[in-house]
Amino acid sequence: MKHRNQVFDNVLDLVGKTPLIKLNKMASQFEGNFYAKVESFNPGHSSKDRIALYIIEQAEKQGILSPGDTIIETTSGNTGFSIAMVSIIKGYDCVLAVSSKSSADKIDMLKTMGAKVYVCPAHVSADDPRSYYEVAKRLHSEIKGSVYINQYFNQLNIDAHYASTGPEIWNQTEGKITHLVACSGTGGTISGTAKYLKEQNPNIQVIGVDAFGSVIKKYHETKEFDEQEIYPYRIEGLGKNLIPTATDFDTIDEFVKVTDEESAHTARLIAKTEGLFVGYTSGAAMQAIKQLGEEGRFKKNDYVVVIFPDHGSRYMSKIYSDKWMKEQGFFDSINAEALQSIEYIK
């Protein structure tokens, strides 16, 4: 196993092998043991380092990519950052079409990492020429020698997690895992991890986390794509207004939907209770555990693993900004305790 004291050839050697950290407070009201796979320990601070490195290396192996070529992707930010990081080390140009829902911090980070960024409107349908899918497709056809990663429709996204996240969790829990709780955006993380884990033990329960305003949960239950389910929501990277082929619905037992507001408060609570500064979807995943726990779903010997996909620093202008929380009305129904934790000396 790689260790902090070791010396590495470049930053890419640090991708994966993230820690599993016991949650001592967040689920202490429920029976069972709860652990978080904390993906912010990747060098690009998210689980997307795994797919960026894996997909690009597969393309290299197949002779599709050579240095100087361009890599194109649609991304809510994290995948873009990871592709940009891999591109720097491996000598590719990186072009990213991102949703306008992405935080300003994320977009600035992508530029800092050398990417050319196109910001596309979030609330248009996927087949609109302004959507980030259509913009990426157009750029792919225009730029010679370009590769389109297409994470929502790329089987390699699933394979990357099957090859790394799944085995890591199996080994770290010494095969004791009983439940996997993970957010579903492209679905690559949950599908690949679940596929590996269920091959080891088919009894493991796999619970996907979806957003209100996304079609994923209903599609899983009914196989119906219901446009009525679609409306704008604030969590980035979770849920979808289309059905990604990078989601293997058969590996997932059920989906739980969470709200923007509860997920934001839960993310803040993770920082305050566990000392873990994680992103909005980590709050969403933990919120799903809370909802399941309140239904009495966990038993004494259960070993629940939740994936925390990224780092909190990416949300400073969103859920970790009291101003933003207030603007969303997220402090309306509760005592704004966070506002009182700063005292201004005059």
Catalytic residue annotation: 48
CB of 198 to ligand PMP, least distance (A): 17
Residue 189 sits in the site that holds ligand PMP (CB under 6 A): yes
Asked if residues 185 and 242 have their Cβ atoms less than 8 Å apart, the reply is no
* Nearest residue (beta carbon) to ligand PMP: 237
Residue 287 sits in the site that holds ligand PMP (CB under 6 A): no
- Please identify, among the stretches 14-22, 61-69, 186-194, 260-268, the one whose residues bind ligand PMP according to the rule CB under 6 A: 186-194
Cα-based angle 33, 50, 14 (whole degrees, multiple of 5): 90
Instruction: Give me the 117-146 binding string for ligand PMP, x by CB under 6 A, dash otherwise.
Output: ------------------------------
Q: Which two tokens stand for residue 62?
A: 């197949």
CB of 308 to ligand PMP, least distance (A): 9
Residue 239 sits in the site that holds ligand PMP (CB under 6 A): no
User: Which lies closer to ligand PMP via its Cβ, residue 69 or residue 210?
Assistant: 210
CB of 121 to ligand PMP, least distance (A): 18
Tell me which of 80, 188, 239, 293 binds ligand PMP, using CB under 6 A: 188
Tell me which of 49, 134, 248, 310 binds ligand PMP, using CB under 6 A: 310
Instruction: Give me the 267-286 binding string for ligand PMP, x by CB under 6 A, dash otherwise.
Output: ------------x-x-----
Residue 237 sits in the site that holds ligand PMP (CB under 6 A): yes
Residue 115's region, left for phi above 0, alpha for psi from -120 to 50, else beta, is beta
CB of 242 to ligand PMP, least distance (A): 13
For the chain, the C-alpha Rg in angstroms (whole number) is 20
Residue 166 sits in the site that holds ligand PMP (CB under 6 A): no
Give DSSP secondary structure letters for 39-75: GGGSTTSBTHHHHHHHHHHHHHHTT---TT-EEEEEE
Residue 156 sits in the site that holds ligand PMP (CB under 6 A): no
Task: Return the H-helix or E-strand segment holding 35.
Answer: strand 33-38
For residues 239-265, one letter each, b for 16 or more C-beta atoms within 10 angstroms of the residue's C-beta and e for the rest, the string is bbbbbbbbbbbebbeebbbbbbbbbbb
CB of 279 to ligand PMP, least distance (A): 5
Give DSSP secondary structure letters for 268-337: HHHHHHH---B-HHHHHHHHHHHHHHHTT---TT-EEEEEE-BBGGGGTTTTT-HHHHHHHTTTSSS--G
Q: Which two tokens stand for residue 168?
A: 């890591």
Residue 39 sits in the site that holds ligand PMP (CB under 6 A): no
Nearest one of 15, 20, 17 to 36, comparing CA atoms: 20
Residue 76 sits in the site that holds ligand PMP (CB under 6 A): yes
Residues that bind ligand PMP (CB under 6 A): 76, 78, 183-190, 237-238, 279, 281, 309-310
